[in-house]
Structure 1
Amino acid sequence: MTDRSISSVTAQFSTGPQAPRSPQALARQLRPLLPSEAFQTSPTRLALVPINLAILVLGWHMASQLDRWPLPSLLIWLPIAVLMGNSVMVLGFLAHDLMHGRGPRQRTLRRLAGLLGFSMLWMTPTLWQAVHNREHHSHTNGLQDPDRSYLASQPNSWGKRLFHWIAPSSEVNPLVLALGMTSAWPLHHFRTTCAVLLFNSTKTGFTPASFRVRPAERRAIGLELAAVASIHLLVISWIGLQPIQLLLGYFLPLWIGYAMAMAYIYTNHVLNPLTEDNDPLLSSLSLQVPAWIDLLHCNFSHHSEHHVFPGLNSNYYPLVRQLLLRHHGDRFNLMGAAEAWRLMLATPRFYRDAGHLISADGAVLVPVPLAPAAP
């Protein structure tokens, strides 16, 4: 698909010349309506990093003793593993916020906190700033976005085949989807890391969209990845190599954390049309979840709000949501999590063009669920 074909389809999505569409234009409109403290760093967010690390450390210590637990009592471990998995996810969310500048101004401290926060996700601060802050936020759900779904016209690479196999869609096997939720994040990270470290080219064929990083960034990514691998090796050596300890104490919490994170991440953009306008209200979806979940997960459900104000204190995203509903309620995509998942499981996952999804065999063609109606 060419840039011209994308532009020709997305032209119908325009809401008029007076409507702010870019993140910068929306931010300029809404910023005066937000309190000044919404744009200040939040030290309390930094404090959540050691708290969740402590939960993991305590869990790993308990896991190292699992060989002494009577077999029936291992059922008690499941809620502990869920709590640890939640900490894996929350640490990733916190690192995401910190890398957007919502943390200490000292660059070294911020990157160290980001490294610790991302470590259980096998992500590194430098790679995250490149793939997420720079590429994804600049080209959200466009042809150059490395986080978008694949195009039907793209080569049938190993990355595309695995994505089709495990991503939520009308074609996915339910059992494979359940297992795939635990591996979707590692797959995304593995393919992105391979593309950058092994090739560092704009023509990498196994990613949805490839990009280059500077030589200094590439070296930093390699060094940070070695540090992350060292952390995982330390955890494994502490827990022990016995099968029960390794499975329940290391793999299970990570799988739960990855699955919980992907339950959010899948909904962020896959139901939205492709667009080259970088309009966060067209390219993103926000979720409605219970207030206690938003409190526990740092308002990560507020995704369109995040694309308008990436560096905002996330405590103020509910206020941004109110403003978007008031000023752009006709364009703001807001949906319950259950409904978003119902739509994902009812539609194919490849883009035929900006406004249509198509099955892998080409037999099913449907409009993108969140594409606005033509005027």
Structure 2
Amino acid sequence: MKDLHSFGWYAARISPHLPKKAFKPVPTRLWGGLAYLLVVVAGFLTIGLFSFNPFLYLGIAFIIGTSFAAMGFLGHEILHGTVVRKAWLRDLLGAIAFWPLTTGPMLWRKWHNLTHHVHTQNDEKDPDAWPTLEKWKRSRFLRWIYKLPHSFRAFSSFALLTLMFTAHSTKCFVMYIKEFNPKNQPKVWMQLILPWVTWIGLLFIMGPLKWLFAFFIPLLIANAIVMGYISTNHRLNPMTEVNDPLANSLTVTVPKWVDVLHFNFSYHTEHHIFPGMSSKYYPLVKEHIKKVWPELYHEMPMSKALVALWKTPRIYYQGSELIDPHQGHLYGSLGNGLDVANIQYRKEQLTENDEILTKALKNGKNV
């Protein structure tokens, strides 16, 4: 693997080439958020006040769901302090943006800003990192999952993207609630409870059928869109001892109009170098990275990244490879032999101890 550098090392070398305005908050991003909020409210009123064909409701649900997702992307930007700097206003606006995804601003900053960004692709400290072979060995559930055919696992994992953000947010709440100052824990709880009070209240106001189209289906759609991006951010990249965004992060490409609608969320390597910069300026960062480190930069169309995720397992072997332990199939990661245009597996690099352990576990023996 190449020599690794921290995100600060890259930032120090790129910063002099960027305009000063790139390091200032961009409050005009809030106009986009207001537009999405108005679309959501209009969708709620249309579903709640009128009786239409269910297929029309489904179309409205899709619009609401895509708006939920876009509000989440803006909330992510707001809570990094790139839209407004005042802490109380940042948290208020971030809470509103994340309200549909039921994630509170204090939890998000703890989970995402202070942990994921600081410890990206660290198998012990990054809450978003996928498990290693060692963790697979210790988990009966993972060992059972990986006895299933790869095609079934891939289909199931993609289907579960419709629930994954909400589920992972709940998991992170359980993980981190005790790490908050006891004085702040009631606020964190309220930021979890109040959105659900809103959405359950909407259920009683609208009734189950209309609520299904106004909130539940849109939530599934929002989860799928958000997780479509998040799944490609790091899951094809290696784990790294140094938090090097050019090694452990992937930028995906989408049509320009999608970038506009999603606040440039596709620029993920750039975000990990400058998490405190508005994504409005990430195209400038990308331009400089490709000029100076073109051989280290990872980008691909989102469609190709998703296909690569479908074709590869999600268990890490020795940090730089992915393994299907039941089959003993090894795949490279980005920068370590993974060719997304021609994904191949190999077997010869398992150590003798790993061969013994995986065979024993595959046969149901205790180790």
Tell whether the structures are fold-level matches, with TM greater than 0.5: yes
Contact 1:120 1:254 in 2 (8 A): yes
1:272 aligned partner = 237
Residues 156, 339 of structure 1: alpha-carbon distance in 2 compared, 3 angstrom cutoff: same
CA distance 1:250–1:99, change in 2 (3 Å): same
**Aligned partners of 2:131, 2:186: CA distance in 1, in Å?**
28
Q: What is aligned with 2:307? A: 342
C-alpha separation in 1, matches of 2:155 and 2:131: 22
Aligned-residue Cα RMSD (Å) equals 2.4
Q: Say if 2:130 is the partner of 1:149.
A: yes
Counterpart of 1:48? 32
Conservation of the 8 A alpha-carbon contact between 1:165 and 1:172: no
Query: Does 1:28 find its partner at 2:12?
Result: yes
Distance change (3 Å), C-alpha of 1:162 and 1:300: farther
Aligned equivalent of 2:352? none
2:207 to 241, 251, 262: 241
Query: What TM-score, normalized to structure 2?
Result: 0.85
* TM-score (ref. length: structure 1): 0.83
Distance 1:294 1:157, change over 3 A: farther
Matched, 1:76 2:56: yes
Q: Describe the superposition over 1:204-263 as per-residue Cα deviations: whole angstroms up to 9, x where unpaired.
A: xxxxxxxx443344333112112222222333233x223x21222221111111101111
Counterpart code for 1:39: F
SS at match of 2:234: coil
Q: Which residue of 1 aligns with 2:107?
A: 127
Q: Percent identity?
A: 31
Distance (whole Å) between structure 2 residues aligned to residue 150 and residue 165 of structure 1: 16
In structure 1, C-alpha distance between the alignment counterparts of 2:322 and 2:30, rounded to whole Å: 40
Q: Which amino acid aligns with 1:226?
A: I
Partner of 1:5: none
Give, as a single letter, the amino acid of the residue that structure 1 aligns with 2:72.
Answer: G
Residue identity matched to 1:14: D
- Kindly state the Cα deviation for residue 96 of structure 1 after the two structures are TM-superposed: 0.6
Distance 1:81 1:118, change over 3 A: same
Greater relative contact order (CA < 8 Å, ≥ 6 in sequence): 1
Equivalent residue number for residue 290 of structure 2:
325
Q: Residue 214 in 1 paired to residue 194 in 2? A: no
Shift of 1:123: 0.7
How far apart, CA to CA, are the structure 2 residues paired with 1:122 and 1:165? 34
Per-residue CA deviations over 1:27-86 (Å, capped at 9, x if unaligned) read: 1111111111111111111222222111111111122135x32xxx32223332221111
Instruction: Call closer, same or farther: CA 1:195–1:171 in 2, change over 3 Å.
Output: farther
Q: Is the 8 Å Cα contact of residues 60 and 235 (structure 1) preserved in structure 2?
A: no
Distance in 2 between residues matched to 1:328 and 1:179, nearest whole Å: 36
Residue matched to 1:196? 176
Is the counterpart of residue 314 in structure 1 residue 296 in structure 2? no
Inter-partner Cα distance in structure 2 for 1:63 and 1:366 = 47
CA distance, structure 1, for counterparts of residue 147 and residue 163 of structure 2: 11
- Provide the residue aligned with 1:298 in structure 2: 263
2:66 is matched with which residue?
A: 86
Aligned pair count?
Answer: 335
The answer for the alignment partner of 2:3 in structure 1 is: 14
User: Residue 103 and residue 226 in structure 1: after superposition, are their counterparts in 2 closer, same or farther (change >3 A)?
Assistant: same
Which stretch has the larger CA shift, 141-150 or 264-273? 141-150
Q: Which residue of the other structure, out of 168, 182, 196, is the alignment partner of 1:229?
A: 196
Q: Which residue identity lines up with residue 301 of structure 2 in the other structure?
A: G
Match of 1:284 among 249, 267, 281: 249
Give 1:7's aligned residue: none
Given that residues 170 and 344 in structure 1 are in contact (C-alpha distance below 8 angstroms), is that contact kept between their aligned partners in structure 2?
no
SS at match of 2:252: strand
* Equivalent residues of 2:26, 2:83 under 8 A apart: yes
Q: Which amino acid letter does the alignment assign opposite residue 356 of structure 1?
A: E
1:89 is displaced (CA, Å) by 0.7
> Residue 323 of structure 2 aligns with which residue?
358
| Contact 2:146/2:324, CA 8 A, preserved across alignment | no
